[in-house]
Amino acid sequence: MSPTSVAGTRTHCPYCSLQCGMTLERVGRALEVQPWPEFPANEGALCRKGWTATGLHGHRERLTTPLVRDRATGALRAAGWDEALDLVAGGLRAVQEAHGRDAVAVFGGGGLTNEKAYQLGKLARVALRTSQVDYNGRWCMSSAASAGNQAFGIDRGLPFPLADVEQADVVVLVGSNLAETMPPAARHLDRLRERGGRVVVVDPRRTPTADRADVFVQPVPGTDLPIALGLLHLLDAAGAVDEEYVATRTTGYDAVRRSVAAWWPERVERVSGVPAAQLRELADLLAGSERVMVLTARGAEQHSQGTATVLAWIDVALALGMPGKVGAGYGCLTGQGNGQGGREHGQKADQLPGYRMIDDPAARAHVAGVWGVDPDSLPGPGRSAYELLDTLGTDDGARALLVLGSNLVVSAPNATHVTERLAALDLLVVADIVMSETAALADVVLPVTQWAEETGTMTNLEGRVVLREQAVAPPEGVRSDLEVMAGLSERLGSPVPFSTDPAEVFAELGRASAGGRADYAGITYDRIRAGHGVFWPCPDTDHPGTPRLFADAFATPDGRARFVAVDHVGAAEQPDAAYPLHLTTGRVLAQYQSGAQTRRVRDLPDDGPFVELHPLLAERIGARDGEPVVVTTRRGELKAPARVVTTIRPDTVFVPFHWVGANRLTNDALDPSSRMPEFKACSCAVRA
């Protein structure tokens, strides 16, 4: 293996938001992953998902021809592209003519490139003129997005390069298992500890990430919020609040101070199951540290009070005077590959490109100008992801759905119900690379190009726009998502053309985003190629991009960050006699999201789902390691082998969500602000 190979194609991993740099080389007919040591986020490191990323290249399960459901047999049969696209366009039109424009909905994904996400939003607003467009990123980091907008006036997951972690004195990871979900990122933690810094992990499970921590806090699922309130209480009581920073760079602290007077440590202990003494130690550690960095992830965010939870942790960072300081502050560790960029360019129900709000007349005018349409022709805000799915096939909801880059049957909460809603549609169209569980339900399946067969940009968790270059030709018979959208827009009689060239689409995206909060106007493919990506905002080609935000001001009208006072309500569903345990869900190292890709990669172990539980609980119910147990909630049931481990709270069970089943259990209660479903906490029963 040559560590500094330049012969291949530089690109980025197809999976998580770290977007590890890698080089792809052709070796005969095979495509091999090689390191790209200079790319800063991962410095040549990759986890096994990255090393085996080419496992879907030339895979036998790859879809290479459009499929349409045969009326007579009810089975899918091969069809030509024209037939399939005519069928789709005709079906969408018929539904709109019968039931109105909003009867067609579009569902995207956080794994789509910026170009596709942008084009999908444009397809919805211009070609279909439906307000009903949203995406699975709503189930990823939307709570952190909502909190970031409220507190800082901007939503960029990390407002600093990831490597800044190494400069912190204390990093607090709230609900992040990055050692398993984005392993190369853990190297930054190790370097921090080599420098003498400390790592704090807050998680109901002692994960491999927690094994690297100096302080491990193990709360009841759904109680990260009161822990933050308790810390604020103690910091205030100890006089550890940075009063000068609070006075000059923030507003709203007084209300927070008064509200946390009610959150003394013993009350937090009662609610969260975290001993008061440990909370005091943690507060002392934070109070005595020069640079504190708080990072949240899905564990803190995927709750019906996810936004409030993130706001409370932002309050902690602000009270300590951290945001804006190098090696300190607050950040969200985005999950999906393009979780960041995917939410900036218009596939979100309430937004237009550049993170513009769709109900803002100036934003509508600008974007409509770039698109060459009348601003008044653009629809208004539509439903959020879960609400969109929840109403499918009802009088009020959409009757036709176009899905790109999402496997809803596996990844949606309360999945049995969502699957029923999909079945109630007049027309379900799914574009995918393999026959995912969702594609299998579709009336029309469109086979599309995958990573390495196409070019496009992603925006990683740092707000760094990176370029995935095409390395191989796609198989015969597939089309890119951009080609699919162009084909549909033409058939739908779109007033403006849709380009199929990624570079052209990116340039158009740049113009549409110009002047918006997420301004890409100055970013070009060549600039990305010349360096290691470009951080937005980057308003013009002379602008160097913005690796670090907030040094002098926040993105609010007055330049100050906002403290927001929040209170703890708790998970929507609390344990009771019938369902006495907490259920939480998450990922394992060797799989990714709904597993549509990784479960098909031969070199990645696929052991199926399992149920993690503590020996005390196992003994109570008579469960044995490796033998099946049944988890039930008010919504569904899952049978899977028990994994008896001492690393989980005895009142909590854990199930990974990469397989069908876990999300039949989860609760669809939504956060009032982000509309995030409560994936991470509901009540359940377990029997052997």
Partner 1 sequence: MTGPGTRERVVVVGAGMAAVRLAELLVAGGRHEVVLLGDEPHAPYNRILLSAVLEGTHDPAALAMRLPDGVDLRLGTRVVDVHRAEREVELADRSRVPYDRLVLATGSIPTLPPIRGLVRVDGRLDERVHAFRSLEDCRRLDAAVPGARRAVVVGGGLLGLQVARALAVRGLATEVVEGGEHLLRSQVGPAAGSVLARGLRRLGTNVYTGARAVRLVDEGPTCRLRLDNGHTLETDLVVLTAGGRPSTSLARRAGLEVRRGVVVDEHLRTSDERVSAIGDCAQRGDRTTGFVPPAWEQAGVLARHLRGEDATYDGSRVVARLRATDLDVAVLGDPTTAEGEVVEVTNPVVGSHRRLVVRGGRIVAGTLVGDLSRIGLITQHYDRGTVLGPTEPGHLLMPDRVTAAEPAVLPDDAEVCSCAGVSAGAVRACASLDEVRATTRATTGCGGCSDAVRQLLRTRTTQLEGTPR
**Residue pair 191/225 in contact by the 8 Å Cβ criterion:** no
Distance of alpha carbon 204 from alpha carbon 209, whole angstroms: 12
- 26, 77, 195, 270: residue in contact with partner 1 (rule CB under 8 A): 270
Q: Which stretch binds partner 1 (CB under 8 A): 152-160, 206-214, 471-479, 659-667?
A: 206-214
Sign of CA dihedral 379, 384, 385, 387: negative
Cβ 47 to partner 1, closest distance in Å? 4
- Report how many residues bind partner 1 under the rule CB under 8 A: 61
Binding mask 147-186 for partner 1 (x = CB under 8 A): --------------------------------xx--xxxx
Between residues 269 and 390, which has the closer beta carbon with respect to partner 1? Answer: 269
Q: Which stretch binds partner 1 (CB under 8 A): 77-85, 167-175, 272-280, 549-557?
A: 272-280
Determine, following the binding rule CB under 8 A, whether residue 575 of this chain makes contact with partner 1.
yes
Per-residue buried b or exposed e for 414-439, using 16+ beta carbons within 10 Å of the residue's own CB: bbbbbbebbeebbbbbbbbbbbbbbb
Could you please report the per-residue DSSP string of 254-307?
A: HHHHHHHTT--HHHHHHHH---HHHHHHHHHHHHT-S-EEEEE-HHHHSSTTHH
Distance of alpha carbon 477 from alpha carbon 464, whole angstroms: 33
Between residues 13 and 104, which has the closer beta carbon with respect to partner 1? Answer: 13
- 24, 47, 482, 521: residue in contact with partner 1 (rule CB under 8 A): 47
Between residues 74 and 239, which has the closer beta carbon with respect to partner 1? Answer: 239
Sign of CA dihedral 473, 474, 475, 477: negative
Strand order in the sheet with 456-459: 456-459, 464-468, 534-535
Determine, following the binding rule CB under 8 A, whether residue 650 of this chain makes contact with partner 1.
yes
- 101, 193, 267, 548: residue in contact with partner 1 (rule CB under 8 A): 267
Determine, following the binding rule CB under 8 A, whether residue 580 of this chain makes contact with partner 1.
yes
Tokens 């990759």 belong to 46
Cβ 480 to partner 1, closest distance in Å? 31
Distance of alpha carbon 468 from alpha carbon 538, whole angstroms: 19
Closest to 539 (Cα-Cα) out of 523, 522, 516, 518 = 522
Angle between helices 502-513 and 361-371 (to 10 degrees): 150
Distance of alpha carbon 432 from alpha carbon 62, whole angstroms: 9
- 94, 276, 285, 514: residue in contact with partner 1 (rule CB under 8 A): 276
Between residues 232 and 448, which has the closer beta carbon with respect to partner 1? Answer: 232
Determine, following the binding rule CB under 8 A, whether residue 443 of this chain makes contact with partner 1.
no
- 24, 76, 461, 590: residue in contact with partner 1 (rule CB under 8 A): 590
- 40, 48, 472, 634: residue in contact with partner 1 (rule CB under 8 A): 48
Distance of alpha carbon 336 from alpha carbon 297, whole angstroms: 11
Structure tokens at 228: 């933050």
Q: Residue 289: exposed, middle, or buried by beta-carbon count in 10 A (0-12, 13-18, 19+)? A: middle
Q: Which stretch binds partner 1 (CB under 8 A): 205-213, 332-340, 375-383, 628-636?
A: 205-213
- 30, 78, 262, 423: residue in contact with partner 1 (rule CB under 8 A): 262
What residue type is 637 in one-letter code?
Answer: E
- 98, 238, 569, 578: residue in contact with partner 1 (rule CB under 8 A): 238
**Residue pair 328/314 in contact by the 8 Å Cβ criterion:** no
Determine, following the binding rule CB under 8 A, whether residue 620 of this chain makes contact with partner 1.
yes
Between residues 71 and 602, which has the closer beta carbon with respect to partner 1? Answer: 602
Determine, following the binding rule CB under 8 A, whether residue 261 of this chain makes contact with partner 1.
yes
Task: Give me the residues that bind partner 1 (CB under 8 A), please.
Answer: 1, 35, 44-48, 51, 179-180, 183-187, 190, 208, 211-212, 218-220, 233, 236-239, 255, 257-259, 261-262, 264-267, 269-270, 272-277, 565, 575-577, 580, 589-590, 605, 616, 619-621, 646, 649-651
